[in-house]
Amino acid sequence: MAIEKRRFGRTGHMSSAVVFGAAALARADEATADRVLDLLLQHDVNHVDTAARYGDSELLVGRWMPRHRARFFLATKTGERDYAGAREGIRRSLDRLRTDHVDMIQLHALFHPDEWERALGPGGALEAYIEARAEGLVRHIGVTGHGWTVAAMHRRSLERFDFDSILMPWNWFAARHATYAPDFERTARLAAERDVAVQTIKGIARGPWAAGATRDRSTWYQPLEAMDDIRPSVHWLLSRPGVFLCSAGDVNLLPMVLQAAGEEIRRPDDATMEALAARTGMASIFGI
């Protein structure tokens, strides 16, 4: 069943509610990437989010572009904070992705105050992004981040520049975090007022890897793995209008996420989610 399409903010693009998080391809081979492409086509996923830092991801996604460029809203990121590095990084990503433009370039993991000042100040990466947009190399500009401070930092970013999208963590556990949850809600309201797309990550995060646990997933945190846990987590998140879920960074979890998202979305009640959190030991992946 095809996944619902939602308007991706002011870009106007009708993107699949699940964005393929191409971090899952960081250490993949070509055969794995081809299987992922088949899965995306099967579920009509039309939005791909990658980054220069994701190992071979841009190269593997680039293999799809000669035949499928028109099908995908293609987003990437650079972690460079200065103008020269960001300018070079954009062009390197275009070469790796085998395209003459990306639909969105994003400032990657921008949540540290010092890096924020460098990237958004004079001679910073944002200047290279604005220049690339004027040149037609990128169409839209976004900002991403992790951690319990990122929602507040994104509000600060939106006050400095009119970004087209933001990306930040959201899941059942985060929605009960004493400081993060109200920060997220304030930022989400501001984004809605300005027609800024809201992407979410860590939707099926369970917690940090337990000591001695077998790390058999490519995610840096321990994810939920059973369909009976993934389904309500995906449904809970996607029952919120207007938000997007970036899929987890493990190709073997992708089929379950896409299957859940392709079903009729029914928001689980609080008791169901509380039981899931207790059963799985859901915890913070960002410390206190």
**pLDDT by residue (tens digit) across 8-37?**
999 999 999 999 999 999 999 999 999 999
In this prediction, residues 68-80 reach a mean pLDDT of 98
88-111 pLDDT, tens digit each: 999 999 999 999 999 999 999 999
Assigned domain for 288 exists: no
Q: Please indicate, yes or no, if residue 286 is contained in any of the structural domains.
A: no
In a domain, 108, yes or no: yes
Give strand pairing partners of 132: none
Q: What span, in angstroms and rounded, lies between the C-alpha atoms of 49 and 246? A: 8
Residue 279: CB atoms within 10 A of its CB come to 11
Quote the domain boundaries for residue 91.
5-280
Does 287 reside within a domain? Answer: no
CATH number of residue 91's parent domain: 3.20.20.100
Report the domain count for the chain: 1
Residues 101-122, mean pLDDT to the nearest whole number = 97
Residue 26: inside a domain? yes
Over residues 260-267, the mean pLDDT reads 97
| Residue given tokens 């401070």 in the structure block | 149
Pinpoint the alpha helices (H) of 105-240.
113-120, 125-134, 150-160, 180-194, 227-238
Q: Judge whether 185 lies within some domain.
A: yes
**Residue 216 structure tokens:** 């058999």
Residue 288: its pLDDT value, please? 60
**148 located within any domain:** yes
Residue 259 lies in a domain: yes
> Any bridge partners for residue 199, and if so which?
167, 244
The b-or-e profile of 176-193 (16+ CB within 10 A means b, else e) is ebeebeebbeebbebbee
Q: What is the pTM of this model?
A: 0.97
> For 181-187, which contacts have Cβ atoms below 8 Å and span 24 or more sequence positions?
183/151, 183/152, 183/155, 184/151, 186/151, 186/155, 187/151, 187/152, 187/154, 187/155, 187/158
25, 251 Cβ separation under 8 angstroms: yes
Q: Which of 134, 194, 135 is nearest to 164 (CA)?
A: 194
